[in-house]
Structure 1
Amino acid sequence: MTPPSKRMEWQAGAWLNPPHSFREEGGFLKVSPEKGRDFWKKTLYGFEYEDGPALLAHWDPETAIEVSFRLHSFTELYDQAGVLLYHGPGQWIKAGIEINDGIPQLATVVTDGYSDWSLAAVPEWAGEEVTVRASILKDAVIIRARSDKHAWRTIRVARFPYPTGNRAGPFACSPTREGFEVTFTRWALTAPDHDLHVDPPVEG
């Protein structure tokens, strides 16, 4: 039986790729990714990156994962952070906030050998604290997001047919600049979704 919420300690994760720097401060995790690292496979651009920093732990499909972070530092093109769902090389999903066209966008990259990218503009979320949530239902993952002032939005339903061998946790990337720092405020495992059309509870 899954407890309502289990807050993860930052030390519970292991870096898939270490960032330029990271530190704990006041219970939060501050991460500075190295310029030029990212997650992407082939589509449109031709290049392949799987070297962005992500702090991952075992992810039981009977739980949902939530990652929260602040947007105050997101100012430049492709500044991004959120949650990485990682099955293995070339089989992963990253979902979170990314700056594109000068505004915050809910961005999801689904990858199975090739990547696809979806965006939904949320300029009204600028400067707020955002929570991104992923929950497996059957052979798919439901990805939702909310801010501290705005309700849950379902942003993607994507194929994720891996019953075992999954890791998940916070990620951050800064493909185009140095000096980007993300403040992660929460990483938690919670009760999973049972219905696509029923919002999960809001937990602090």
Structure 2
Amino acid sequence: MDRLRQSASIAKDVMPRTLAWSEGTWTNEPVHVAVDDDGMRVTAREGSDAWRLTSYDFIHASEHALLAPLPLETAVEVQFRLDFVHQFDQAGIFVKIDDTSWIKAGIEVSDGETSLGAVVTQGTSDWSLRPLTEWSGHLVTIRGSRSGNALTVRARVDDDPWQLVRVAPLDPNADVTAGPYCCAPLNADLTVHFTSWRTTPADASLHPEP
């Protein structure tokens, strides 16, 4: 109960704000970054990826993630234009505790389909996807809400209602960073146009009020 009261108190102090792209630190520098009034365009390095061991037996930690602190009872939102088509091209949010514990969520092209999904990594990675080809060509927003002992990931296209993507465990005592990310495991020509990066109070509840 004390932790719940503490979380509620923290949430009241969180004010929505837009983050400047300069506030983040890259985990791995992209090939090119261009910032203007229309957002940030990031060109990924061919072979960039984030994965640990499961099924593929390799460790990749070459993702391009622009990270800033994500305190308890805070949510991060990243918006980008969905216009990539090559196998495993991906973009969204990256939430990091350390080199072996992190979450990435967003859009990824897999086996010819544009899909919404997440990878939760705690030593080893898992992966979940569902096709959403109708989102192609639109603005997609990925939201990661950190509350209590969990990260709740939601997504939407344009101004449509939020859709639940994943609920994953996240240590409430951990120092966490988060922000936009992209990877291009098999593509030498992926440039992602990120249009916004903001923080807000964490979601009030896991499920909408009836």
Instruction: Give TM-score scaled by structure 1 length.
Output: 0.93
- Deviation (angstroms), 1:25: 2.4
| Cα distance in 2, alignment partners of residues 143 and 163 from structure 1 | 19
TM superposition shift of 1:198: 2.1
Q: Kindly report structure 1 stretches of 4+ aligned residues shifted beyond 4 Å.
A: none
Q: How far 1:149 moved relative to its partner? A: 5.2
Is residue 45 of structure 2 the alignment partner of residue 45 of structure 1? no
Paired residue type of 2:70: W
1:31 paired with 2:42, answer: yes
Work out which of the residue numbers 117, 138, 157 in structure 2 matches 1:147.
Answer: 157
Q: 2:72·2:148 contact (CA, 8 Å) conserved in 1?
A: no
Residues 87 and 162, structure 1, Cα contact 8 Å, conserved in 2: no
Q: Distance in 2 between matches of 1:139 and 1:53?
A: 26
- Give yes or no for the alignment of 1:115 onto 2:129: no
Q: Equivalents in 2 of 1:194, 1:161: separation in Å? A: 18
Q: What secondary structure sits across from 1:54 in the alignment?
A: strand
In structure 2, the residue matched to 1:202 is none
1:195 aligns with 2:172: no
Larger radius of gyration: 2
- Please state how far the C-alpha of 1:59 moved relative to its aligned partner: 1.0
Q: Secondary structure at the match of 2:127?
A: strand
RMSD of aligned residue pairs (Cα, Å): 1.2
Structure 2 residue 65 is matched with structure 1 residue 54:
yes
Equivalent residue letter for 1:167? T
Structure 1 unpaired stretches of 5+ = 200-204
Supply the AA of the counterpart residue of 1:103.
E
Contact 2:73/2:148 (CA < 8 Å) preserved in 1? no
More helix by share: 2
State the match for 2:30 in structure 1.
19
**Count of matched residue pairs:** 197
**Distance in structure 1 (CA, Å) of the matches to 2:184 and 2:190:** 7
Secondary structure of the structure 2 residue equivalent to 1:176: coil
Structure 2 residues not aligned, in runs of 5+ = 1-12
Displacement of 1:136: 1.7
Q: Which amino acid aligns with 1:14?
A: T
CA distance in 2, matches of 1:171, 1:163: 24
Q: Distance in 2 between matches of 1:162 and 1:114?
A: 20
Secondary structure at the aligned position of 2:88 is classed as coil
State the Cα deviation string for residues 56-109 of structure 1 (Å, max 9, x = none): 01111221000000012x111111000000011110000000011222111200
8 Å CA contact 1:31, 1:183 repeated in 2: yes
Instruction: State the AA in 2 paired with 1:2.
Output: V
Q: Note the 1:65-144 alignment, pairs <5 A.
A: 65-72=76-83, 74-144=84-154
Pick from 177, 189, 196 the counterpart of residue 179 of structure 1: 189
